[in-house]
Structure 1
């Protein structure tokens, strides 16, 4: 049998209209109703709002988690099962749900609070850098106070995060093909998120984690684990820690993975993996219509 990894995208992959065909699947509507009861608003209504409410962090994170988790449920109902799972930033919550680490409603409570806290963050900035000399970038980050590597996505694409001055310094001093400041409310995946992370710990501590059904590669430590305590500890570090996606991608062929299925809207992760690892079979499941 083909060894398969499921990967779940995070914030930035959302789009207006995502998940709308879930309304036609009775097995999905129960979960959508559960989510609405916790959130106080309808995921599908937000996703269909023409004013792009779904791109507001407050809404984005619960919407992505709910849709990705339901798509995973539909795949498993067809008898499909991953050998390994991983998620990019917010996507790690859907990965943990798919691995049976916590139940659906616990995940909704977690991402609801995470989205609230991160939408309230107002300090710092983030920027995406493409086409650079890695050693020059690493040296400059090490020499610049107040900035960190937030997302190490692939050898030619990263996101930096930190104080506005420090982020702009890196953009001005490191030679890149392209550098784009991101439209975000704060410096996600950096030490500036520490106050929000401390508040989030109260919610996280109350959620029971179970051992995973299959290995999970965490953002802050991209080595496989099924241990509940380990996975919870890694998740607790995620809001201030780096997303080490390049290392996750490189691990997949080492683990014997032959096929990668991106479960969720868009194809950001399979695109990153394609540029990092050659020869893997890549598939995208972004809607219920793709699941027979």
Structure 2
């Protein structure tokens, strides 16, 4: 059997109308209905809102988690199961759900609080760099306080996070083909999220974690683990720690993985992984139609 990893995208992969092709499935509708009293609003209504309400952090994270969880359930109902799982930022929660670490409702309660805290984090900014000089970036980051490498996606794509002044300093000093200031409310995956992480910890501590049914590669540590205490500790550090996606991508072939399936809307992760590991078989399951292809 070909070793397969399921990977789950995070914020940035959302789109108006995502998951709405699933509405005709009773099992999907049950999940949408299950989510509404927990969230206090309708995922279906938000995803169909033409003013792009789904791109507001408060709604983006729960909506992605719900849609990705439904796709996980549908894949498993077809007899498909991963050998490894990983998720990018928010996507790590979907990965943990897929691995059986916690149930759907517990995961959604975590996501709801996470989204509220991150949405209210107004200090700081984030920026993406594409086609940059990595040694130069590392030197500039080392000498510039208040900014860190937040997302190490692949050799040619990273995201930095920190105070606006520090981020702008790095952008002016590092040569890149393109830099993009992200429309994000705060400096995610940086020490500036420490207060939010502190407020989140009691919520995280209240949710029991089970041993993962398959190894999970975490954002802050790409070493595969099924240990519930390890996985919770890594998730605890995720909000302030870097997303080490390049290392996760490199680890997959080391574990014998040959096939990677991105479960969720868009094709962001398969695009990122292709640059790092061009020999991996890459697939996307973002819609009901993909399940029968």
Structure-1-length-normalised TM-score: 0.99
- CA deviations on 1:6-35 (whole Å, 9 max, x unpaired) are 000000000000000121111111111110
Task: Report the equivalent of 1:112.
Answer: 112
Task: Report the equivalent of 1:125.
Answer: 125
Task: Report the equivalent of 2:97.
Answer: 97
Runs of 4+ in 1 over 6 A off after TM superposition: none
Aligned length: 292
Task: Report the equivalent of 1:220.
Answer: 220
- CA deviations on 1:164-200 (whole Å, 9 max, x unpaired) are 0000000000011111110010000000000011001
Q: How far apart are residue 289 of structure 1 and its match?
A: 2.3
Counterparts of 2:44 and 2:6, CA distance in 1: 23
Structure 2 portions without partners, runs of 5+? none
- CA deviations on 1:56-75 (whole Å, 9 max, x unpaired) are 00000000000001101100
Counterparts of 1:278 and 1:288, CA distance in 2: 27
Task: Report the equivalent of 1:29.
Answer: 29
Task: Report the equivalent of 1:188.
Answer: 188
Task: Report the equivalent of 1:232.
Answer: 232
Task: Report the equivalent of 1:61.
Answer: 61
Counterparts of 2:177 and 2:66, CA distance in 1: 36
Structure-2-length-normalised TM-score: 0.99
Counterparts of 2:280 and 2:220, CA distance in 1: 24
Residue 138 (structure 1) aligned with residue 138 (structure 2): yes
Secondary structure of the equivalent of 1:18?
Answer: coil
Counterparts of 2:278 and 2:185, CA distance in 1: 35
RMSD (CA atoms): 0.6
Secondary structure of the equivalent of 2:23?
Answer: helix
- CA deviations on 1:105-141 (whole Å, 9 max, x unpaired) are 0001000000001000100110000111111101110
Task: Report the equivalent of 1:2.
Answer: 2
Structure 1 portions without partners, runs of 5+? none
Task: Report the equivalent of 2:48.
Answer: 48
Task: Report the equivalent of 1:241.
Answer: 241
